[in-house]
Amino acid sequence: MAENESSAPELALQKLIAGNKAFVESATNPADLSPARIAELAQNGQAPYAVVVTCSDSRVPPEHLFSAGIGDLFVVRTAGNVIGDFERGSIEYAVEQLGVSLVVIMGHSQCGAVGAALAGRADGYLDTVVSEIQRGIAGAASEQEAIRQNISHSQRCVLQSEAIRLLVEAGQLKVLGAEYDLQTGRVDFLAKA
């Protein structure tokens, strides 16, 4: 494997860390959102540097949290950042077709879906989300612990894809967990699944 391939996940992670630092320290997104950038991407296609799988919560906008622009992130959003076949398929597309080398599963503080899973209640289709989260948080002693366990569970669900797992084993892809703090705007990357 070429040196730039092995460092690609780390370079993508450093962009996310720097972008979140800029978000926390600034009130604006410095990314290029210009009509010229839009036209460039329409003509040349996308080349995102990371996949971010996160909650649908409107307080968790990944492009802003990482000071990213149009075409920078491939974002997959579901309540409780749960992973199923549609999400795995979307991630496979990003890593196989677009060459993304970093997948981040980002949960967040005060997650309503995790709270519902802890309470054991949900109505309608939300029950499907709650049931999936409950599989990953059994035995959690607190909401904070449940949020972290849910992130780890989603990481393991991503790795059920053979294509993704093989890229991870080859060192061409990293699948990391992260937690966003609604109070501070800070994203902390987690050590392991």
Residue 3 is predicted with a pLDDT of: 43
User: Could you tell me which residues come within 8 angstroms of residue 105 by beta carbon, excluding any fewer than 6 positions away?
Assistant: 53, 54, 81, 83, 151, 154, 155, 158, 175, 176, 177, 178
115 burial (CB, 10 Å; 0-12 / 13-18 / 19+) is middle
Nearest residue to 18 via CA among 31, 4, 8: 31
Question: What residue ranges define each of the domains in the chain, with the CATH number in brackets?
Answer: 3-190 (3.40.1050.10)
Residue 36 is predicted with a pLDDT of: 95
Examine the pLDDT at 54 and tell me if it is beyond 60.
Answer: yes
Residue 29 is predicted with a pLDDT of: 79
Taking only the tens place, the pLDDT of each residue in 19-36 is 999 999 987 778 888 999
Examine the pLDDT at 110 and tell me if it is beyond 70.
Answer: yes
User: In the chain, pLDDT over 90 holds for what percent of residues?
Assistant: 87
Residue 1 is predicted with a pLDDT of: 36
Residue recorded with tokens 């040196």: 3
> What pTM did the predictor assign?
0.92
Count of residues making up the chain = 193
